[in-house]
Amino acid sequence: MKGPLDAWRARRFGIYHVRHDSIEPDSPYRPGQAGHDFKFEVAPAAGEPIIPKRTQRVHRDGFGNHACFTFARLDWAGRLCTAEQVHALSLANMHGEYCTVLTTRQALARLPLS
C-alpha cells in the first residue's frame, strides 16, 4: 500500500526531510541515538535532502510548519502520557493561533491533481 509520502513523490513536489539534531546530552534526538533515525515509512529516498535542525535554528529562521513525532513523556505530576496523548495535546495547543493542523488525508486533498 502506498503512503502519503508516495503520493507527494508521485506529484514530483519538493520533499525536504527535517531531522532534529539535539545538542542535549540525554536527548533521544541526539545524533547517534535511536530516536535520531528516520522511521522506515518516512525515510528519505535517494537524492531527497535532509535538513538538520536545532530548536534555535527553527525559531531564528521562522520555520514552524513541519510534521511532528514524539515519545511517551512524564507530565509534571509524574504520570506517563503515551506518545499519542502527547502528540494530540501538542497539536491542539498549536492549532489556531500558531498554525492550521491538518491530517495527512486533508493535506493530500488540498494538493493539485497534476
Domains by residue range for the chain, with CATH: 1-64 (3.40.50.850), 68-114 (no CATH)
For residue 87, pLDDT over 60 is answered with yes
The answer for residues whose C-beta is within 8 angstroms of residue 67's C-beta and 6 or more apart is 42
Q: What pTM was computed for the model?
A: 0.54
Q: Where are the alpha helices (DSSP H) in 52-103?
A: 55-61, 83-94
Could you tell me which of 49, 71, 68 has the C-alpha nearest to residue 58?
A: 68
Euclidean distance between the first and the last CA atom of the chain, given in angstroms as a whole number: 21
pLDDT of residue 74: 92
The answer for residues whose C-beta is within 8 angstroms of residue 80's C-beta and 6 or more apart is 72, 73, 74
Which one is predicted more confidently, 50 or 110? 50
pLDDT of residue 80: 96
pLDDT of residue 90: 86
